[in-house]
Structure 1
Amino acid sequence: MELIKKVREAKEYINRIDNSEIDIAIILGTGLGSLGEEIKNKKVIKYTQIPHFPTSTVLGHSGELIIGDLMGKRILAMNGRFHYYEGYNMQNITFPIRVINDLGIKKLIVSNAAGGMNERFNQGDLMIITDHINLMGDNPLIGNNYEEFGPRFPDMSNAYNKELINLAKDCADNLNIKVKEGIYIAVSGPTYETPAELRMLRKIGGDAVGMSTIPEVIIANHMKMKILGISCITDMAIADNLEPLDHAKVVEIANKSKDKFVDLVKEIVFEMKSN
């Protein structure tokens, strides 16, 4: 079935449940789903109910859309995302972004859990993403291009919107939350990186590394959406001081950082202009 038809069918299903005008979409990464608890007057739609949506399989990802009110704005939150390492192709994992855009939403906040490679970072820091490096070995725009969505060769010079970056920094200052800024690198996973890989990633300019986000950002840019990215630094991925890591530890640290993440995102949503 043609992608555009699938997108429209998913959109129409969501509109039957809630057809309000939505200001901002938020993708909640590993361990950061507690923001969904702050949303009022909400309607919850399981991914399994939405036509053509994949199923989220990862611990810390609830697999549901939440539509409701947050800080005076109408919000759509993805509580859980899809990953390349789950076996989905790039078109599958970015399908929800196409649907979000078709719902008329033009502002997107993406969050993730990431390993901090910058020695100036600390476990539990929040990093505002200023740029990225795609090392996943794939691109969601490979294949047929749909001009209805965007151009064959989209520009990525402002992948993370500078106005939203400045807004996020101002909001962090208002809340006395210290944030870092940096470049996010995405790899395919699901293995964590070896020390040699981490040395390479740091040398080419990466400050944090994860296994998500970049495909979503590429697709959102293809459709001229404005994007803000925030990483929660859940572990220190320093090659010469690398400790064994498992997913449970990542979720644990993300949970410890969730309060300041929630406070920051709420302040950003409050200060962000509506579409």
Structure 2
Amino acid sequence: MTAARAAADILHRAPGRRPRVGLVLGSGLGGIADRLEDGIAIPYADLPGFPVPSVAGHAGRLVVGRLGGVEVACMQGRVHAYEGAGFDALKTAIRALKLAGCDTLVLTAAAGSLRTEVGPGRLMAITDHLNLLGANPLTGPNDESFGDRFPSMTDAWDPGLRALLKEVAAEQAIALAEGVYAAYPGPSFETPAEVRMMKILGADAVGMSTVPECIVARHCGLRVAGCAVITNLGVGLGDGPVDHHQTLAAASAAAADLEKLLVGFLERLHEKDGSRS
């Protein structure tokens, strides 16, 4: 099984480490991986079945180290449905983190806001999602060793973990919004009509990732928390065009708040269950 071989390689290349939390960094947010203590970087290309990103802002390496007192395996970059490679590599990566010892997955992403009061530079804890990709990563034969054929997505975004994010944000005076994340196929940005549609459906932010990782993680029993970094207002809600350069720049500017939030969150996990960190 490819995921098992990848997990074995991770543990071999990071001897003595047993990551508890998997962390996926979105566009423009990869610099957080450089803050890990005693970090050991492993290129995705050296891990069987792992994705090799083709998009700027995604370095394509796994960094194993400590953050906030917790052993973490940090995915510095991801692949997206629009890159055309399917979901096999994504499934391998998330399942490898599970087999390497993770019980929790924290997903981050750059996203456009569908609420004018939550503008660029804000953080948004993900409460739920809309899968508008037109595909599901669990399509095809089910691997019973990881989970049931029909996994529930009730509370897919763990309420307890989200409560910890909110506590830390309040303590550190970080303005943390909450909302539903819509996954849009891309790579073109949304049209004004599509933005209006997603608002009607109940979305608060839109991006091109994150939902597939959540689905795979819940299927194999990982708890999931998510935080979107708002890089722009959706088309038609603000002034000026939206492009990827703007996304990267705005994400980088908000990375400091995200880092403080993640470190505080991990410290709180360590306090709650230090024996497993």
TM-score normalised by L of structure 1: 0.96
Equivalent position amino acid for 2:12 in 1? R
Which of 176, 191, 194 matches 2:191?
194
Match of 1:78 among 75, 80, 89: 75
CA distance 1:242–1:85, shift in 2 (3 Å): farther
Amino acid at match of 2:260: D
Residues 34-93 of structure 1 deviation map (CA, whole Å, 9 limit, x = unaligned): 211210111100011111212111111111000011121111100001111111112223
- Please say which of residues 92-101 and 126-135 is displaced more in the overlay: 92-101
Which deviates more from structure 2 when the two are superposed, residues 93-102 or residues 175-184?
93-102
Give 2:49's aligned residue. 52
- Counterpart CA distance in 1 for 2:127 and 2:14 is 33
Residue 146 (structure 1) aligns with: 143
Task: Give the match's secondary structure for 2:265.
Answer: helix
Distance 2:92 2:207 in 1: 20
Residue number among 31, 34, 40 corresponding to 1:43 in the alignment: 40
Structure 2 gap segments, 5+ residues each: none
2:241 maps to what in 1?
A: 244
Deviates more, 1:263-272 or 1:11-20: 11-20
Counterpart in the other structure of 1:210:
207
Deviation at 1:158, TM superposition (A): 1.0
SS of the equivalent of 2:111 reads strand
Report how many aligned residue pairs link the two structures. 271
1:6 to 2, 10, 13: 2
CA contact 2:131–2:183 (8 Å) conserved in 1: yes
> Using a 3 Å threshold, how does the CA distance of structure 1 residues 23 and 249 change in structure 2: closer, same or farther?
same
Opposite residue 8 of structure 1, the aligned amino acid is A
User: Do 2:235 and 2:241's aligned partners in 1 also have CA atoms closer than 8 Å?
Assistant: no
Report the Cα offset of residue 248 of structure 1: 0.7
8 Å Cα contact 1:118/1:238 also seen in 2: no
Q: 1:95 Cα shift? A: 2.0
Task: Classify the secondary structure of the residue corresponding to 1:151.
Answer: coil
**What's the TM-score, normalizing by structure 2?**
0.95
Q: Which one of the candidate residues 160, 165, 168 is aligned to 1:168? A: 165
Are the structure 2 counterparts of residues 240 and 42 from structure 1 closer, same or farther at C-alpha, using a change threshold of 3 Å? Answer: closer
Pairwise CA distance, 1:243: 2.7
Aligned to 1:233: 230
1:222 Cα deviation (Å)?
Answer: 0.4
RMSD, matched Cα: 1.2
2:28 paired residue among 31, 37, 59: 31
